[in-house]
Amino acid sequence: MIIVLLGPPGAGKGTQADRLAARLGIPKIATGDVLRAALRDGTPRGKEAKAFMDRGDLVPDSVILGILQDVMNSPATAKGAILDGAVRTVPQAEGLGIMLAEIGKKVDKVLLFDVDDEELVKRLSTRTVCEGCQTPYMGRLPGSECEKCGGRLVRRKDDEPEAIRNRLEVYRSQTEPVIDWYKDQKMKVTKVDADAPVDEVTARALEALGESESGVKT
């Protein structure tokens, strides 16, 4: 099953993608994580993306489509994938559709995580993330230790106030049109109210995917 997660920055896409991946047994593909790893490794892709990411702008479609091409043709995604923030422009949605059709696949589900702006800003301005495994935390200070891998928690450069503002604007102008594009393709986009405790949001997402928490299909 190929699942596309849409939603503004801070809506909890990454948090929920980890949980859905564990529950459904398919990998999470987060283009933000792939780009940050490329940046840390100093690859040409990472160097190209850095300035865009620091400002909170989208990196060029060509870079994202290159990443998607690599991952969708990898054996790791043979059973499906949860695409976290991997489709943020209409050309990316079109490009993904074409590359999946070439390998006899398609996007099966699109979930849209919905949270109001005030809560998004609160979440992002208090977030720290693990330098190593990228797990996000709320209310934990930079320099603390990651519970999962023991890595160091840091603040993301794009979680500074100006970059947060820009990311929200970029989401409205460039990513929201993707919702209508999927609807025009007769694809159902299921809105998930994500302004609730993390467990509750997971339950809502599983229900939207037709999966119950006990593992029985609903």
Residue 102 tokens read as: 């070439």
Is residue 53 close enough to count as binding ligand AP5 by CB under 6 A? yes
The one catalytic residue in 23, 45, 127, 155 is 127
- 3-state SS string over 12-62? CHHHHHHHHHHHHCCCEEEHHHHHHHHHHHCCHHHHHHHHHHHHCCCCCHH
88 is catalytic: yes
Under a CB-based contact definition with an 8 Å cutoff, are residues 50 and 159 in contact? no
Under a CB-based contact definition with an 8 Å cutoff, are residues 35 and 42 in contact? no
* Cα separation, 218 vs 214, whole angstroms: 10
Q: Which of 56, 77, 130, 181 binds ligand AP5 (CB under 6 A)?
A: 56
Is residue 11 close enough to count as binding ligand AP5 by CB under 6 A? yes
The count of residues interacting with ligand AP5 (CB under 6 A) is 36
* Cα separation, 147 vs 130, whole angstroms: 9
User: How far apart are CB 11 and ligand AP5 at their closest, in Å?
Assistant: 4
The one catalytic residue in 105, 109, 167, 204 is 167
Q: Which of 35, 110, 146, 205 binds ligand AP5 (CB under 6 A)?
A: 35
Catalytically active residues, by annotation: 13, 88, 127, 156, 167
- Kindly list the residues in this chain that would bind ligand AP5 in the complex (CB under 6 A): 7, 9-15, 30-32, 35, 52-53, 56-59, 64, 85-86, 88, 92, 123-124, 127, 136-138, 158, 167, 194, 196-198, 201
